[in-house]
Structure 1
Amino acid sequence: MALDLYAGIPVADYPAALKWYEQLLGSPPTFVASDTEAVWELAEHRSLFIEHLPEKAGNALHTVFVDDFDTLVAQIAERGLAPAERETYANGVRKAVYRDPEGNEIGFGGAPLQG
């Protein structure tokens, strides 16, 4: 079964959100769909977008699992953002949670430490 994902994040202050997500994700959007929507392709057929929807802003909850959790968290820190929370679950899976200025939550998860 083919899988495509187009996950949205509603924002009230689009220009500020655009800068913050560029800092979090480490690049400008893959494409700008309109004056109020920007899209980052995280992997083939898997995209994250922000859209100016003030009435819904601040309520997104997304978690993206990555192969190299430690490297990603370090790269984000080099760009000036620190996780609001860090968790390690009973099975060893780790998660770093970032919150944009409007309260939307983007988490990155990774496999347990080896060794």
Structure 2
Amino acid sequence: MAHTETPTVLTVPNLVSTSRVVLAVGFLAMDAVPVRLALIGVASLTDFLDGWIARRTKVVSRYGALIDPVADRFFVLCVVIAYVVGDQLTVWQAVVIFFRDIMSLIGWFTA
């Protein structure tokens, strides 16, 4: 059965994807390691759930195809910045992480 293109932004999968932005802000606001680990775990779960819900309910949108990777990158950016500011990562380690994302982006455009 084919997926139907949903023209609205307000779909459950898009809201789940967007929740990672809120989780990223929460990560920046928290210092406690257990809380940060929990936020990473919840963000990972939402990354799985948005796609699963979209496939299961056959709700696909162009917005979702954009929102999901942007929310992912925003979360990673916030985590890396928080760890650099907190001296848990060096700037060079952050550059390596961002280089991986840039290479993935180049690969996506090439494909």
Q: More relative contact order in 1 or in 2 (CA 8 Å, sep 6+)?
A: 2
Determine which structure has more spread, i.e. the larger CA radius of gyration. 2
Greater strand percent: which structure? Answer: 1
TM over 0.5: no
Q: TM-score, normalised by structure 1?
A: 0.24
Greater helix percent: which structure? Answer: 2
